[in-house]
Amino acid sequence: MHRLAQVFGATTLVALAAACSSTTTRHEDAAAVPAGAGSSAAAPAASAGNAPAATPTPRASSSASPTSQPVKMTDPAHLTIHPDHIGPLKIGMSLRAAKATGLIVVNTDQDAAGSGGCVSAHWKGQSEHVWMVFNGRYGLRALDSFGDQKTPEGIKPGSTLAAVRRAYPHLTWRVDGDETPDARRTGGDALVDAVKGDGAHYRINIQKKKVTDVQLESDRTGCYE
């Protein structure tokens, strides 16, 4: 009886010790897990490692955008010969306005011409043969071209008469004593009023079926032949 009690007591002590040990272990495990975290929270944490990384927000470039390059002025020798102007020089403009462009040089001793007088000038940097004529009242009357200047249709010195006829099928010829029918002419001054009512026309000199010069003329007469 006493032995059974002792054995039971020893067994009880072993069981109690085991229980205490198990309780201690659970307490230690619980302490190792942060408060509020459970086994169900572990799965999202693990899967979060497989989620794609957030795309970084682009940073503004620290370098300043390149400044705009200055617009380069067209070389006067490559300007287009429009029906009533070449660059800023326009048939009918005043001598004063033309001088302000910086593109012309007035020939010697002609600045003092009166309101009805005629003043000759030439393109800056060119000889006096690359000419223009002003009238004090009606402005620029005639304007010669030079260099690689050409009409919008590509007509310039060196172009063929055939090319001129294709570009301007309604051209006429200046009356100059040549009685050859227009369709058979191979030389002289061909006149082309490309834009009706603009006050100007082309005067295209042709020799031996080749263009030698392209000029602009006012529809008004005076100051030149």
pLDDT tens sequence for the chain (225 residues):
333 333 334 444 334 344 444 444 444 444 444 444 444 444 444 444 454 455 555 454 444 444 444 434 579 999 999 999 999 999 999 999 999 999 999 998 775 555 678 999 999 999 999 999 999 889 999 999 999 999 999 999 999 999 999 999 999 999 888 888 988 999 999 999 999 999 999 999 999 999 999 999 999 888 877
Give CA–CA dist 57/193, Å, rounded. 63
Give CA–CA dist 20/35, Å, rounded. 23
Q: 213 forms bridges with which residues in the sheet?
A: 205
Domain boundaries, the chain: 77-218
Q: What is the 3-state secondary structure (H, E, C) of 172-188?
A: EECCCCCCCCHHHCCCE
pTM score: 0.66
Contact 219, 191 (CB under 8 A): no
Contact 186, 205 (CB under 8 A): no
Contact 135, 223 (CB under 8 A): yes
- The rounded Cα 121 to chain-centroid distance in angstroms is 34
Could you count the other beta carbons within 10 Å of the beta carbon of residue 78? 11
